[in-house]
Amino acid sequence: MVNGDKEVQGLQLPYKYENSLLLYISSHNCEISLLLFVAIWETQNTQAKVQINLRCSFIGSFLMEKYELIKEKNKRGFFEGRSLITSKIVTLKQLVVHPVEGVPASLIKEISLLHELENPNVIRLLEVVNSKHQTTMVLVYERMEMDLKGFMCIYPTVMTSPWTRKVLLRQILNAVSFFHSYNLIHGKIKPENIFVDPDTKVLKVTDFIWPRSILNQDSGDPHEDSTYNYMAPEILIEQKQYTTALDVWSVGCVFAEMVTKTPLFPAKTEFHQLLKIFSIMGTPHEETWPGIDEMHPHSYIYSRSEPKDLRELVPGLEPAGIDLLNIEVSLYDDHETYFAKVFSLALMPNVNNMGIFL
């Protein structure tokens, strides 16, 4: 079954994975053991059809001494597991070390940043487990319950409360201004990267592949991401220098989505994304965005449109929220747009006194 020639030593069926079975096959002569997701489709007849899903995941058997797996979390290689020592629920992410190039650059960055960043609203990396021959690594994070996207789907009524939205927004801003004070731009703030605990409403920001230094911007390329919906226009028009305004923009997009449940600027490609943004915020020209002609000489290709009223696009948001959103997603504004800190301090000082953690 495994490579044909390797002897399969043990076959256990310890984990049930929703409607499929998780086979855990360990083999002594290979360091990694193999988890197969065997989806079983019940047919009308008695015979069950077994189809082996080729999306197999390798999970190191070295991990089995410390953690037990509960289930696969999503298709991005995340697993939910339980520590055998503390019996706490954790999130596991497995990465294979490249046989030629060694530890991936993104991993080096992520781990070293997570060691440094300690904040209640930033995901914590508990440990890095190495396999004996350094072929695979597993990152152990604290539990990520549910991402904001899922949270909005599963608890639509909770999200209608302005209080919940304020509590969540405040925490996102807290995390973002924390990054900025560490000389980092997160760059990928989006609902999929924000995790929420449904009971306590504690929010954690994740994903540290992109971040770069604010003051020294020689590194990184932001275009590797496929979700453009939360991307600030200055990335889309390929500005070379980024500012902290980039994150504030993304926070604004997430904020609007918390109210309406759909992205504020939905689009599939980079080009359409800019079109969408300009159709709502107005096509920029030298008066509304000084320097735009130089940055984006082809801006004449976009049809001229006037800014729309966000009150109509984001119904149900109170006037103060509209004002805030307007500043967050403004194409060009005074310096205050750049600072998540300003928002997180000025915004909703009463939220702090409502028995919440910050």
Q: Say if strands 48-52 and 212-213 run parallel, antiparallel, or are unpaired.
A: unpaired
According to the binding rule CB under 8 A, does residue 338 interact with another protein? yes
Q: Is the CB of 75 or the CB of 335 nearer to another protein?
A: 335
Q: Is the CB of 38 or the CB of 209 nearer to another protein?
A: 209
According to the binding rule CB under 8 A, does residue 347 interact with another protein? no
According to the binding rule CB under 8 A, does residue 100 interact with another protein? yes
Contact 32, 131 (CB under 8 A): yes
Q: How many CB atoms neighbour CB 195 within 10 A?
A: 23
Q: Where are the beta strands (DSSP E) in the chain?
A: 10-17, 20-26, 32-42, 48-52, 57-60, 67-74, 78-83, 89-96, 125-130, 136-142, 146-147, 184-185, 194-196, 203-205, 212-213
Residue 281 CA to residue 133 CA, distance in Å, equals 54
Going by C-alpha positions, the residue among 235, 122, 232, 231 that lies closest to residue 173 is: 122
Residue 94 CA to residue 205 CA, distance in Å, equals 19
According to the binding rule CB under 8 A, does residue 118 interact with another protein? no
Considering only 9, 53, 183, 200, the residue that binds another protein (CB under 8 A) is 183
According to the binding rule CB under 8 A, does residue 181 interact with another protein? yes
According to the binding rule CB under 8 A, does residue 240 interact with another protein? no
Amino acid present at 16: K
Query: Binding mask 317-336 vs another protein (x if CB under 8 A, - otherwise)?
Result: ------------------x-
Quick one: which segment of 39-47, 175-183, 268-276, 279-287 binds another protein (CB under 8 A)? 175-183
Angle, CA of 208, 326 and 342, to the nearest 5°: 60
Least distance from C-beta 55 to another protein, angstroms? 27
| 134 class by beta-carbon count within 10 Å (0-12 exposed, 13-18 middle, 19+ buried) | exposed
Quick one: which segment of 35-43, 112-120, 163-171, 310-318 binds another protein (CB under 8 A)? 112-120
Q: How many CB atoms neighbour CB 251 within 10 A?
A: 27
Considering only 141, 278, 339, 343, the residue that binds another protein (CB under 8 A) is 339
Q: Is the CB of 83 or the CB of 119 nearer to another protein?
A: 119
| 42 class by beta-carbon count within 10 Å (0-12 exposed, 13-18 middle, 19+ buried) | exposed
According to the binding rule CB under 8 A, does residue 290 interact with another protein? no
According to the binding rule CB under 8 A, does residue 294 interact with another protein? no
Least distance from C-beta 209 to another protein, angstroms? 13
With contacts defined by CB under 8 A, how many residues of the chain interact with another protein?
A: 37
Under rule CB under 8 A, which residues in 17-36 are in contact with another protein? none
According to the binding rule CB under 8 A, does residue 353 interact with another protein? no
Considering only 112, 161, 200, 269, the residue that binds another protein (CB under 8 A) is 112
According to the binding rule CB under 8 A, does residue 284 interact with another protein? no
Under rule CB under 8 A, which residues in 121-150 are in contact with another protein? 128, 130, 134
Least distance from C-beta 36 to another protein, angstroms? 28
- Distant-in-sequence, close-in-space partners of 113: CB < 8 Å, separation ≥ 6: 184, 208, 211
State CA 340 to chain mean position distance: 18
Quick one: which segment of 6-14, 159-167, 213-221, 290-298 binds another protein (CB under 8 A)? 213-221
Q: Which two tokens stand for residue 64?
A: 């089995």
The binding site for another protein (CB under 8 A) comprises: 97, 100-105, 108-109, 111-113, 115-116, 128, 130, 134, 180-183, 214-216, 218-221, 241, 243-245, 335, 338-339, 341-342
